[in-house]
Structure 1
């Protein structure tokens, strides 16, 4: 796993790998893809990036460490979440799933009402599983994918690895780095707020939805960032993911489809240090909030853009989710072949989402470091498909029958949702052990303003620690 991490660290920083302790074996999760290696590298890269910020503050970070079993638990965090001792609500909508077409398989993502409506409208069926199943079976997988995507929904044909590599989008993804950090404006050097934590005093405005973006924000919060998640009251949410990824963040609503909401967003950006967003590529730019636009509002800003299929190629603006990227890029097809199954077999976790989130946090902290050392405004870009391509490049491991027990990695915390049992923050940083200052807040329960460091938000719902 050391070589995997060294490659990631060099891509992010151009520097040799610092001292780091990687523990555990790649025998925690089933399957042949090296999910543990990728997850451990993501955790370690983020923790190393936090350590470098500590060094900037004159604090000895100690030797960074990452454990494969803890990293595996982290990419399973929403599945391990408990609410008042019971499993968290299911994250999948009733119509989400893999469907057999007349010539193969296609996956439909219908967790949100608008995506479910796109499936039903494009196929001409009611929102009933048997009706969708019957209609899909009479069409080719490509016909279903095209119809649903054209209607504004989310779908993906199960392709083989070879088919994906030959596909124009697969070729576009192959030409992109796993993470890109680029300067998008001139600015004086930033100054870090006096703190004993890597990101103490750093304001992070998070404009994200499931799942990679919220994971990145959760990591930044654990290293001391003041993270404000901004959503909209009318948009649907997946409760289990909101509870799981909201650790350490405040949550507010701002209506970006109104002039007043966009004006409020401008005020928030003007006083932010980082803006993390996972809208489709170009969506925010169309309403005046592209990376360069935001850098003009706040010179020295670090922006981070996360997407499904990357920022280049014919699918750059296509809606996508982890499960769809696994179908499109050959992962689910290979899983079926390796297990002898007659249906798609994905990774044992939403590993593309989670690992992308950890890598994004690492890239953001690296860009923050550059803004302090070099000055300038910086933009970070990652994608689920790029993480999938990187995972594929790591080779394969011998399959194992997983018997992992993660109970010792869980902790209880009180929240507005009830008592949450969550996965403890991964990554060892002796100089400033990562922690969340509070549990997940109820959506929209905080005010959409920045408060002085150390000042509690009066609208905050009491959540324990």
Structure 2
């Protein structure tokens, strides 16, 4: 794999562009290997560092009919000073805002300032909200959850059942004919599905009309996917989802650990020969494995946003989300190649916390934000929701350039069929 360009194009100190290029390069290389397995010589893989970095903040470039789709952050989401340090509240979903207000009232700033950060975080979490306390990298490394995450593989690809080998037939794209059920939300999981679609997979995103969404992210990650609604509170819809899974190759889910398992869509329920992908916030082991989390919260909890005693400093992209999505896609490609020769049923596991561990391990660099144009990495497409400006999929694969067959569809507008 060949890297093109300078990584010092987004504000430091963390090597975000390098992380992006590393993740994109891993997926593109694995896609090339799979393409070769399918009878097509892929050509030399390369990654443009600037393109990869902009893809890691693709939601910032999104326009529909020349206008932003909506705010990425709700007014109450943000960093707050507590009596003994800083914390962050995530209120982008109405039920998370309601949880915060139930604990802190209407004057959130004053209420947080009067309490210990850990007390606020635990109270918000207990009420069903989402929050995290700022820690130093050293404090996170010494925390039981930090130690648990550090011991986990970056991308776990585990055989969880039997099944005969299922080689893929000859094709001119890496994932032609591969069926992917996308049961994900926010950024990391949807990015995984979008990445697989860029390499030719048939991706069906499954949501429900009653669930809240972040519309800019939903549009941005909808490229190449069909979209349907199945409310799993209905037995009929749950049965239909099981039928879809039985005919799929891959199911990707990003709900909290055990939540979908309780509905019958966990590792113990995986149809023989399929690949289940589980994305989590804080990891798959340790005391916080089921804790609710988002990229911005993980940046505080893991010490990524820590700068001495000052206010948290965010990354220049939701790099933990995007990186985890790309790493999940790499796990799918690895599992597909193993299934082709070894057979089996597989479980891929990744987490935002483990991606943060990777980013921290890359060291620091002196980078500033580039002001050079990014037009070469952008395109526009007519869709049912309007003309959408978006970032093109990064990664050069000469024999089968990654691309989406169509833009985002109207949510829930496609039938629940393959």
Q: TM-score range by the shorter chain?
A: over 0.9
Question: Quick check: 1:232 aligned with 2:200?
Answer: no
Match of 1:8 in 2: none
The equivalent position to 1:405 in structure 2, one of 350, 367, 373, is 373
The equivalent position to 1:287 in structure 2, one of 246, 253, 263, is 263
Match of 1:5 in 2: none
Match of 2:38 in 1: 57
Question: Quick check: 1:145 aligned with 2:121?
Answer: yes
Q: How far apart, in 2, do the equivalents of 1:375 and 1:404 lie?
A: 48
Offset at 1:58? 1.1
Name the structure, 1 or 2, with higher relative contact order (CA <8 Å, separation 6+).
2
In the TM superposition, what are the counterparts of 1:43-442 in structure 2 within 5 Å? Answer: 43-123=24-104, 125-126=105-106, 131-294=107-270, 298-334=271-307, 337=308, 342-442=310-410
Offset at 1:56? 1.0
Q: Tell whether the 8 Å contact from 2:46 to 2:395 is kept in structure 1 after alignment.
A: yes
Q: How far apart, in 2, do the equivalents of 1:160 and 1:282 lie?
A: 29
Match of 1:14 in 2: none
Offset at 1:239? 0.9
Q: How far apart, in 1, do the equivalents of 2:373 and 2:280 lie?
A: 32
- Give unmatched runs, 5+ long, in structure 2: none
Offset at 1:429? 0.4
Offset at 1:193? 4.5
What secondary structure does 2:204 align onto? strand
Q: Tell whether the 8 Å contact from 2:162 to 2:273 is kept in structure 1 after alignment.
A: yes
Q: Tell whether the 8 Å contact from 1:185 to 1:292 is kept in structure 2 after alignment.
A: no
Q: Tell whether the 8 Å contact from 1:28 to 1:404 is kept in structure 2 after alignment.
A: no
Offset at 1:342? 3.6
- How well do the aligned residues superpose, as a CA RMSD in angstroms? 1.1
Structure 1 runs, 4 residues or longer, greater than 6 Å off: none
TM-score with structure 1 setting the length: 0.88
Offset at 1:194? 4.6
Change in 2 beyond 3 A, CA 1:404/1:257: farther
Q: How far apart, in 1, do the equivalents of 2:155 and 2:311 lie?
A: 32
Q: Tell whether the 8 Å contact from 1:99 to 1:136 is kept in structure 2 after alignment.
A: yes
Q: How far apart, in 1, do the equivalents of 2:35 and 2:84 lie?
A: 55
Q: Tell whether the 8 Å contact from 1:194 to 1:201 is kept in structure 2 after alignment.
A: no
What secondary structure does 1:397 align onto? coil
Offset at 1:401? 4.2
TM-score with structure 2 setting the length: 0.98
Q: How far apart, in 2, do the equivalents of 1:300 and 1:49 lie?
A: 20
Q: Write out per-residue CA displacement over residues 151-173 of structure 1, whole angstroms, 9 at most, x where no aligned residue.
A: 11110001111111111111111
Q: How far apart, in 1, do the equivalents of 2:83 and 2:41 lie?
A: 61
Q: How far apart, in 2, do the equivalents of 1:170 and 1:114 lie?
A: 28
Q: Write out per-residue CA displacement over residues 146-205 of structure 1, whole angstroms, 9 at most, x where no aligned residue.
A: 100111111000111111111111111111111100000010011324531110010000
Give the number of equivalent residue pairs: 418
What secondary structure does 1:36 align onto? helix
Change in 2 beyond 3 A, CA 1:122/1:355: same
Q: How far apart, in 1, do the equivalents of 2:224 and 2:19 lie?
A: 25
Q: How far apart, in 2, do the equivalents of 1:399 and 1:343 lie?
A: 20
- Give unmatched runs, 5+ long, in structure 1: 1-19, 451-465
Change in 2 beyond 3 A, CA 1:177/1:404: farther
Q: How far apart, in 2, do the equivalents of 1:404 and 1:93 lie?
A: 30
